Amino acid sequence: MLFKKQLSKLGWLNGTGIAIAIALLGAYGYQIKLSADTSFKAKTAILSYENRQVATLEVKATPKEQAMGLQGQDNLPSSSGILFPVQPPKLVQVWMYNVKFPIDIIFLKDGKIQGIIESAPPCSIQERCTIYRSQGAVDTVIELPAGTAKTFNLQAGTQLEVKLQDIQHKL
């Protein structure tokens, strides 16, 4: 809930969406609206569970950042991850095309875990990549190093706290 309130202050509740694979989503008839308002930007966020810091997250807020996701990166260090704001909340599809290492994918709505894909394997052949879908409308997708969900015993229904950091305002 804290995350949603902070996003409201940033103006992200008017059209930002996740675009892990814009071409793939378009092929499935999903329309993605990405916010053109970049006057406010959070660069990082802290993910916590039961007052323990799980990871520092890089926020991917722009259309270009969201389309790239983790593609081409060599690794995702432990205690780090990626946060994709999804607004308005919607069904989301994620794939691992050109991601070189396994990750945990967490689908959230109002800070509560709606679903987890543990250790999603890398995929280099586009036609063979599995498409991972949220089971309902979500407002956030978080990607963490494989095994993080198990280490922290995260599961559907778990309430997480996401606190935005490094908020800057362009003049």
pLDDT tens across 57-77, in order? 999 987 788 888 898 888 999
Answer whether residue 101 shows pLDDT above 50: yes
Per the structure block, which two tokens stand in for 115? 């679903």
Give the pTM. Answer: 0.74
- CA dist., res. 87 & res. 114, Å (int): 16
The model's pLDDT over 108-136, given as tens digits with 9 standing for 90+, comes to 999 999 999 999 999 999 999 999 999 99
How many other C-beta atoms are found inside a 10 Å radius of the C-beta of residue 131? 14
Answer whether residue 26 shows pLDDT above 90: no
What's the CATH number where 86 sits?
A: 2.60.120.1140
Answer whether residue 33 shows pLDDT above 60: no
- The whole-chain average pLDDT of the chain stands at 78
Structural domain that includes position 132: 2-169
Q: What is the mean pLDDT of residues 9-28?
A: 34
144 closest CA partner among 77, 60, 89, 48: 77
Cis, peptide link before residue 88, omega less than 30° from 0: yes
Give the per-residue pLDDT at 166.
62
Residue predicted with more confidence, 71 or 55: 55
- CA dist., res. 89 & res. 53, Å (int): 25
- CA dist., res. 133 & res. 108, Å (int): 12
The model's pLDDT over 142-165, given as tens digits with 9 standing for 90+, comes to 999 999 999 999 999 999 999 988
Per the structure block, which two tokens stand in for 85? 């704001």
- CA dist., res. 101 & res. 5, Å (int): 33
Residue predicted with more confidence, 152 or 39: 152
**How many separate domains does the chain show?**
1
Give the per-residue pLDDT at 19.
34
